[in-house]
Amino acid sequence: MLDLTQQRITVTGGAGFLGRVVVAKLKERGVAAENIFIPRRKDFDLTRVEDVARLYDTARPTVVIHLAAEVGGIGANRAHPGRFFFANMAMGLHLIEEARRRALRKFVHTGTVCAYPKFTPVPFQEENLWNGYPEETNAPYGVAKKALFVMLDSYQREYGLASTVVVPVNLYGPYDNFDPDSSHVIPALIRKCEEARLAQADHIVCWGTGSASREFLYVDDAAEGIVRAAQKMETPEPINLGTGSEITIRNLVELIAHLCDFRGRIEWDATKPDGQPRRCLDTSRARQRLDWQAQVGFEEGLRRTIAWYRQQ
């Protein structure tokens, strides 16, 4: 097992929603603050090869945990498919190539459930990643992230680059993105219900039919899985991180409305897309390889997230 306390670790996206928890977990394991480098976008544009080379020169990492991404909900994916493909592909491409050039000790890549084919059998098993094209609204993002799985596999076989790949399901928790134009479903619904409650509105309108299902993972649980992968894994076989349980969007909206004390009607705009029909992961590989499973119950995680949002 890799002793992370003896490594210089760069965490891309380390100041973000997931990254801040990953950094905290590294410190809990005894990694000194001076051995953790968090590049900021204003200083390093990771889509530019020159900036990535300068990042490696500056931080001199032995381990890179790559969390930075350009990402959003269905609306953001539909509005920016080109940007989402380019930015995510370019960041990973340059970071991995520079890792090879500098004989990095380990590269940790965070993938996405959006990489799975649209009609993957439930629960999603890692072997099914390659059995079809992703759901159309988030395919550019998903394909870009999945291409990096192939890059890491080929770089290990040709150059011996040690790496690991985790595939988290939809994340949620405090410090999530609540911007109405780019947020994912849970923060978007929390904001919608809270604003409707405060405005004493008699209804809210939600996208789609409510029939699609999703699985959600609390951000602290995801961070723990990522750090364990950094410690334990040397090969880039994808490892699902999730809870293994799903909820329909209709039931999710009703639950969030209840927890937010919104008592108005819920209406559905079926002209808007549902996205992938179902999402639910098989997490047995994470239990076997990482001795990991989710700890935070869904309703408890939602209560924590709503409480944090209200404090802001």
The residues annotated with a catalytic role in the active site are 141
Q: What are the E-state strand segments in the chain?
A: 9-12, 36-37, 63-66, 106-110, 163-168, 170-172, 203-207, 213-214, 216-218, 238-241, 247-248, 265-269
Phi, psi of 68 (to 5 degrees): -60, 135
Phi, psi of 142 (to 5 degrees): -65, -40
Q: How many CB atoms lie within 10 A of CB 76?
A: 22
Each as own residue / partner, the long-range contacts of residues 52-59 (CB below 8 Å, 24 or more positions apart, any chain) are 52/91, 52/94, 52/95, 52/98, 53/98, 55/10, 56/98, 56/102, 59/8, 59/10
The three-class DSSP label of residue 170 is strand
Give the HSE-up count for residue 252: Cα atoms under 13 Å, Cβ half-sphere: 25
Nearest-10 crossing angle of helices 298-311, 185-198? 60
